[in-house]
Chains A and B, each alone.
Chain A
C-alpha cells in the first residue's frame, strides 16, 4: 500500500485545500498523471502522482485543507489487492486530525456539520458517493424514508464543482503572506553573496533578429529564452549552484529545472519551473515558457512546476531596471537576475563604442558555494551568450 501525501508546493506553502479529485477508487494511475487539483495561496495546482498503482481510497474530500505531508489517498501497488492491504483509519478521522488551526474556515464550501443521526443511504449510493468524494451526510434523500439513492448522488455530482477556488482578493492576501514567509526565511537562513557582470548582448540580439525576421509572431523567440538556455547550459558546468540546501547539506538538483519569476498582473509573484532547460531546443523552450507564464497568470500550475525548480531566474530588466539582485527562494542555493538589455558605452581595443549589454547578477548561498565559483559561473553564462548558434 502506498500512501499518497499532500506534496510540498514550494517553501511558501504549508497547506493545501483540495478542490477536486480527478481519480476515483479503482482507477489505475501512472507516473506524472494529474490526480487532484489543490488550491494554495498562489494558484490552483494540478497535483501529479509519481507512482504507478491503483487508487484504493481517497482520504480527504473537496473543501478539506490539510498540511503538507498529510496522506490524502492510498494506492495499491501494481499487483497488490485490497485484501492484502491493511485497513486505514476512517477517512473522517484522518480529516479531523489534519484540520489546521486557522482562525477562519477556508473560503471554499465545506461539508456541513454532520447530523447526529445516521444518514439513510442505499449501499450502491454510498459507494458512488465515496467514489466521487461526496460526504453522504450532506445529501438530501428522495428515496423511501428519506433514504439517499444513487440518483441523489449523481444529481449532486453533476452540480459540481461545489468547491470554488479562493477569490482574487483572498488569493492576493494569501500570496502576500506566502511571499513574506519565504523571503523572511531566506534572509534569516541563507548567507547571500552577490556578484554582477555586464554581458554584451549584441551578438545574441543580431542572431535573434535574423532568426525572427521571417517568422510570424507566434513563432518568434524572445531574448529571455536565450538567457534561460545559456544559464541552464552553464549550470551543467557549475552544479554546486543547481540544487537545494537541506538539513545542513547541499543536495544536487535532479535535473536543470529553472524557476522563472513571473510578475502577476494583479500584483504578486510566482516562479514556476521550466523543466530540463539545458536539453531542450529554443523553439520548444519558447513555447513552454509562453504556456507557463500564461498558466501562472491564470493561477493554473502543476505540482511539479511549483516544487522542482533548482535555480530561479528573474528577468526584471523587461520592466526597465538596469539590474536586479534577488532573494534566493529556499531551499534553492542561487538566483540569477537579469537587467534591461540596452546600448551602453563599451570600451574595446582602446576605443569607446555603443554596445547592447545587460547586467547579470548572481545571488548565491555562501554555505553551498564561494564567490570564486560564482564568478566563474557568470563568466560561463556570458561566454555562452556570445555563441548563440550553440544555444
Chain B
C-alpha cells in the first residue's frame, strides 16, 4: 500500500470517530489525540477501525510511541511491510 493510500485509509477511519475532522487542517507533526480531541474510548474505536481496515492489530504496549499522525503512518507502513 503506498503512502497516499494509507493516509486515506487512516483519515477515513479517523473521520468515522470524529466526523468534524478536516484532513486539510490536520497537522501531521502535532500530538494526534490533541489535534482531534480523542478520549480513550475514541482512541480504542479508532484502533479497532484500523484493525478492521488494514489488518494491523496495534498492541496496547505501542500506544505510547504513537504520538502524531506522521508517526502513526510510518508505524503502520512498517507493520504492513513486515506482514
Query: Which chain A residue lies CB-closest to B52?
Result: A218
Nearest-neighbour CB distance to chain A for B3, whole angstroms, equals 23
A265 touches B58 (CB 8 A): no
Contact flag A265-B57 (CB < 8 Å), given A222-B44, A289-B41, A319-B39: no
Chain B nearest CB from A244 CB (Å) reads 28
Q: Which size bracket describes the interface of B in this complex?
A: 10 to 19
Least CB distance, A226 to chain B, in whole angstroms:
12
Q: Are B59 and A222 in contact (CB under 8 A)?
A: no
- Contact between A216 and B40, CB atoms less than 8 A apart: no
The main secondary structure of chain A at its interface with chain B is helix
A378 to chain B, nearest CB (A): 23
**Which A residues are in CB contact (< 8 Å) with B20?**
265-266
Does the CB pair A218–B37 fall under 8 Å? Answer: no
B22: Cβ under 8 A from any A Cβ: no
Q: Which residue of B lies closest to A214 (CB)?
A: B59
How far does the alpha carbon of A109 sit from the alpha carbon of B46 in the complex, in Å?
37
- Contact of B7 with A by CB under 8 A: no
Within 8 Å of chain B (Cβ to Cβ): is A318?
yes
Decide: B47 and A217 in contact? CB cutoff 8 A: yes
Q: Given A217-B51, A218-B48, is A209 in contact with B40 using a C-beta cutoff of 8 Å?
A: no
Asked if A216 and B48 sit within 8 Å, CB to CB, the answer is: yes
User: Is A335 in contact with chain B by the CB < 8 A criterion?
Assistant: no
Mask: chain A, 58-101; 1 = CB below 8 Å from B; 0 = not: 00000000000000000000000000000000000000000000
Q: Given that A217-B51, A218-B48 are contacting pairs, would A212 and B60 also be in contact in the complex, using a CB cutoff of 8 Å?
A: yes
Task: Using CB atoms, name the residue of chain A closest to B36.
Answer: A265
In whole Å, how far is A21's beta carbon from the nearest beta carbon of chain B? 29
A388 on the interface (CB 8 Å rule)?
no
Q: List the A side residues contacting B48 at CB < 8 Å.
A: 216-218
A213 part of interface (Cβ distance < 8 Å): yes
Q: Is the interface of B mostly helix, strand, loop or mixed?
A: helix
Tell me how many residue pairs across A and B have CB atoms closer than 8 Å: 42
- A213 touches which of B40, B41, B60 (Cβ 8 Å): B60
Cβ contact within 8 Å between B37 and A265: yes
Task: Give Cα distance in the complex from A293 to B17, angstroms.
Answer: 11
Which residues of B47-67 have CB atoms within 8 Å of chain A's CB atoms? 47-48, 50-51, 57-61
Nearest CB in chain B: distance from A23 CB, A: 32
B57 with A222: CB separation less than 8 A: no
Contacts of B50 in A (CB 8 A): 217
Distance of B76 from chain A, by nearest CB (Å): 14
- How many Å lie between the Cα of A263 and that of B40 in the bound state? 12
Residues of B within 8 A of A192 (CB): none
Those of A217-245 within 8 Å (CB) of chain B: 217-218, 220, 222-224
B residues 17-52 near A (Cβ < 8 Å) are 18-20, 37, 39-41, 44-45, 47-48, 50-51
CA A266 – CA B50 in complex, angstroms? 24
CB of B40, distance to nearest CB on chain A (Å): 5
> Taking the complex as formed, is A283 at the interface, i.e. its CB lies under 8 A from any CB of chain B?
no
Q: For chain A residues 326-385, which have a beta carbon within 8 Å of chain B?
A: none
Q: Shortest Cβ distance from A275 into chain B, in angstroms?
A: 18
Instruction: Give Cα A223 to B39, complex, Å.
Output: 12
Residues A218 and B60 in contact in the complex (CB < 8 Å), given A290-B41, A319-B39: no
Q: Is the CB of A265 within 8 A of B18?
A: yes
A220 to B61, CA, bound (A): 13
Given contacts A217-B51, A222-B40, A265-B18, contact A290 B45 (CB under 8 A): yes
- Cα(A223)–Cα(B37), bound, Å: 19
B39 adjacent to A217 (CB under 8 Å): no
CB–CB A216/B18 < 8 A: no
Which residues on the A side are within 8 Å of B19 (C-beta)? 265
A365 to chain B: closest CB distance in Å?
A: 28
Query: Could you name 15 residue pairs across A and B whose Cβ atoms are closer than 8 Å?
Result: A216-B48, A216-B51, A216-B57, A217-B44, A217-B48, A217-B57, A220-B44, A220-B60, A222-B40, A224-B41, A265-B18, A289-B41, A293-B41, A318-B39, A319-B39
Cβ-closest 10 pairs across A and B: A217-B47, A217-B48, A218-B48, A318-B39, A212-B60, A216-B57, A222-B40, A318-B40, A217-B51, A293-B41
Which B residues form the contact surface with A (CB < 8 A)?
A: 18-20, 37, 39-41, 44-45, 47-48, 50-51, 57-61
